[in-house]
Amino acid sequence: NAKKRQIENILYQRLDNRIKQLLQNIGKTGNELGFNMFVVGGFVRDLLLSRQIDDIDIVVEGDGIEFAKTYAKKEGCRINTYKKFGTAVIIYPDNFKIDVASARLEYYKTPAALPIVEKSSIKLDLARRDFTINTLAISLNPDNFGTMIDYFGANRDLKDKTIRTIHNLSFVEDPTRIFRAIKFSNRFGFKIGKVTSNLIKNAITIDCFKNLSGLRVLSELKQIFEEENPIPAIKTMESYGLEKVLHKDLTLIPNTYQLLESVNKILSWHDLLYMDEPYPRWAVYFMAMLNRCSYKVCEQICTRLNVPLRERGILLEKRYKAEKQLNLIESSSTYTKQELYWTLINFKTEYILYMMALVKDEEIKKAISNFYTHQRGIKPYIKGRDLLKLGLKPGPVFSAIIKQVLNAKLDGQLKTRKEEIQFAAAYAEKTNLLIKS
């Protein structure tokens, strides 16, 4: 009871009112349907670690879809259901989402007198999870709201700051968990338990990745690269020899780590200033990791990981283009501000940041950063229709004039729309482009 009160207190102290209310409503609605309701996994883990909570995962001992339908109706939400898996997503009008899964109550005929045994299926549901720290559940039904369920020693491992699997075949059963262990250990600053660490080594020794779909490894790798600072995780991966799972010739040398460190600095700078401008953060780390590889090795890594075509373009063709372009800029002493603009404007954020991490010359780095912060957003006020009004005939000349306007703007010569029109007219006159006259 004291424990229950303690968890209830944590729920009350750490959660905002909306989530608290929502959990209570979930418990009530489920209870009315005769289901046991739990909030599970990452939610409980992050709650106890006082970390920001992103997802709400609900497990229903009963029919999750029936619950989701009833709840959504009451609360005015939409739902997506996945019959085959007994799962649903409840979506609030403001797009806030709750994931619901079913853990059906299982009934077993016993040979003896008692006909049916009800097995606690939340336990089975939790037993399928990757690590002990992800196996916590909190009851939500009104009678036991706030009771914490810990079958696998999760509280002990959270206290010990340790990542442990639930059973010894865990990594053989699903080798992607090796990457997940490293991700969680890096994110929380936890160690990987000794037995668990040995299980990882054994799984790698028996070549557990041989039959694993590349796409699943890619997905876990991306998640690691999306962490705030993935470098310690990359080091841990290397300590287990996991880079060889990607390619036998992939080697991470001190230079690679230096580049990764500078990627990390650049991305922190960027993300602080441009929080609302998403870009594939993972790709910048990945490009840096592949920086020293030959094209052929990179290609084979992409094939091994089933990298989808578009992302293959990032890691192969476009990355090489960015590197080549940077070489040109660094080896030329006559690059003007405008030339730099017209070069860089063709590259998306991820490549610009990659170039900034790669560049050696501080002046060029400053120029690229200036392009990113000041110039890339500059757009001329003037449009095609202004040029029509000037009596110009539409055609390639339009973009040539707009380019000139932009160049003058980058130079700080033009401030207003009127100035731009005057400039365009003068330029057209000078170059004899007017149809009328």
Q: Which residues are near ligand ATP by CB under 6 A?
A: 41-42, 54-55, 129-130, 134, 174, 176-177
Minimum gap (Å) between residue 163 Cβ and ligand ATP: 12
Minimum gap (Å) between residue 433 Cβ and ligand ATP: 58
Q: What order do you get walking across the sheet with 56-61 strand by strand? A: 78-82, 87-91, 97-102, 56-61, 36-40, 137-139, 148-149
Q: In terms of CB distance, is 176 or 186 closer to ligand ATP?
A: 176
Residue (of 130, 107, 347, 361) closest to 223 by Cα position: 130
Q: In terms of CB distance, is 87 or 349 closer to ligand ATP?
A: 87
Measured CA to CA, the distance from residue 263 to residue 356 in angstroms comes to 8
Minimum gap (Å) between residue 393 Cβ and ligand ATP: 57
Minimum gap (Å) between residue 185 Cβ and ligand ATP: 13
CB of 341 closer than 8 Å to CB of 410:
yes
Minimum gap (Å) between residue 280 Cβ and ligand ATP: 17
Helix (H) or strand (E) holding 36: strand 36-40
CB of 147 closer than 8 Å to CB of 139:
yes
Q: In terms of CB distance, is 174 or 271 closer to ligand ATP?
A: 174
The CA distances from residue 388 to 402, 406, 429, in Å, are 13, 18, 14
Minimum gap (Å) between residue 218 Cβ and ligand ATP: 14
Phi, psi torsion values for 99, nearest 5 degrees: -90, 135
Q: In terms of CB distance, is 156 or 248 closer to ligand ATP?
A: 156
Q: Quote the DSSP letter at residue 144.
A: G
Angle of helix 214-225 relative to helix 281-290, nearest 10 degrees?
110
Minimum gap (Å) between residue 287 Cβ and ligand ATP: 23
Q: In terms of CB distance, is 222 or 319 closer to ligand ATP?
A: 222
CB of 262 closer than 8 Å to CB of 289:
no
Minimum gap (Å) between residue 152 Cβ and ligand ATP: 11
DSSP for 43-95, written as a single string: HHHHHHTT-----EEEEEES-HHHHHHHHHHHHT-EEEEEGGGTEEEEE-TT-
Q: In terms of CB distance, is 177 or 222 closer to ligand ATP?
A: 177
Minimum gap (Å) between residue 186 Cβ and ligand ATP: 11
357: Cβ contacts below 8 Å, ≥ 6 apart:
259, 262, 263, 265, 266, 284, 288
Q: In terms of CB distance, is 40 or 405 closer to ligand ATP?
A: 40
Q: In terms of CB distance, is 192 or 392 closer to ligand ATP?
A: 192
Q: Which residue has the tokens 């959660």?
A: 15
Q: How far is CA 330 from the centre of its chain?
A: 32
Measured CA to CA, the distance from residue 269 to residue 275 in angstroms comes to 10
Q: In terms of CB distance, is 53 or 359 closer to ligand ATP?
A: 53
Minimum gap (Å) between residue 154 Cβ and ligand ATP: 10
Q: Which residue is nearest to ligand ATP (CB)?
A: 42
Measured CA to CA, the distance from residue 208 to residue 202 in angstroms comes to 9
| ∠ CA 263-267-271, rounded to 5° | 175
Minimum gap (Å) between residue 79 Cβ and ligand ATP: 19
60 - beta bridge partners? Answer: 37, 102
Measured CA to CA, the distance from residue 329 to residue 323 in angstroms comes to 10
Q: In terms of CB distance, is 41 or 230 closer to ligand ATP?
A: 41
Which of helix, strand or coil describes residue 117? Answer: strand
Minimum gap (Å) between residue 172 Cβ and ligand ATP: 12
Measured CA to CA, the distance from residue 163 to residue 196 in angstroms comes to 8
Q: In terms of CB distance, is 40 or 263 closer to ligand ATP?
A: 40
Q: In terms of CB distance, is 100 or 340 closer to ligand ATP?
A: 100
